[in-house]
Structure 1
């Protein structure tokens, strides 16, 4: 295990948060989106989304740092980090597809793909460091809900 470095941890957290912030920026005015559609049941108020995502991106960054910090010889470390970055890229694209381009069907499919990717990532993280995997369980649960919302918006609209 490498020595703990606060700056490295902060880089991982800020990178994850930046992915979310840039995705939101490139998504355009998503607040008006929900006034233009028929909302699905259980749609939370708009303020919930940035709060939840900020926490989830922080947890993602912390967990990726924990994986990165493990011994280089640890089986699966490199593959786990690759899955992390792949899911982060897919996560980045979802908001842009959904809000900016309003490709609701594609966005619903991407949400399900992201859910599956995060599930595989959690399993890969578990093989390297169980705590890092556990930190992503709230993300996985949120993605189940987000996939429902994306599919429901697509079906209703």
Structure 2
């Protein structure tokens, strides 16, 4: 319960909104980007460490929820005069880059471009994590699994791109 409290309080509506927005956005993006693209993806040669397809929705839903909770915590601190105003725009930028990657990789099949974009995304996530940590250590810590997953996804993107070029 302490995880969702900021300075001892919970704003349930903002908390729900903060968590659900990236989850819903990611779900819509995934649906739009992956529609009719999965058949092509199944035919690609993949590295030995490629997880089963069922792993991705579970991982992304969890990560989007953690991102949303982190943003909620930073916004609440900011409202209470304790936060840095630069943290949220950087968060929004990395979230937009996250959504764009799905289109580059799946929808448009631009795996090399997606690799470059994901490198930029990783830098934006690292900066977001740093900025969040400056405002709220818990918020910054909530972003660390996302960094780990994107590093893994970057290696998966690279390997798939190399195997299919």
Interval containing the TM-score (normalised by the shorter chain): over 0.9
1:139 alignment partner in structure 2 = 146
Alignment of 1:72-91 (within 5 A): 72=79, 73-76=81-84, 78-91=85-98
Count of residue pairs brought into register by the alignment: 156
Q: Deviations over 1:85-113 (max 9, x none)?
A: 00000001001110000001110111111
Give 1:156 shift. 1.2
Distance across 1 between alignment mates of 2:50 and 2:157: 10
Runs of 4+ in 1 over 6 A off after TM superposition: none
Partners of 1:147 and 1:116 lie apart in 2 by 12
* Cα RMSD (Å): 1.4
Aligned partners of 1:60 and 1:136 also within 8 Å: yes
How far apart in 2 are the matches of 1:79 and 1:33?
Answer: 40
Instruction: Flag structure 2 segments of 5+ consecutive residues without an equivalent.
Output: 1-5
**TM-score normalised to the size of structure 1?**
0.93
Select 2:19's aligned residue among 13, 34, 59: 13
Question: TM-score when scaled to structure 2?
Answer: 0.89
Unaligned runs of 5+ in 1: none
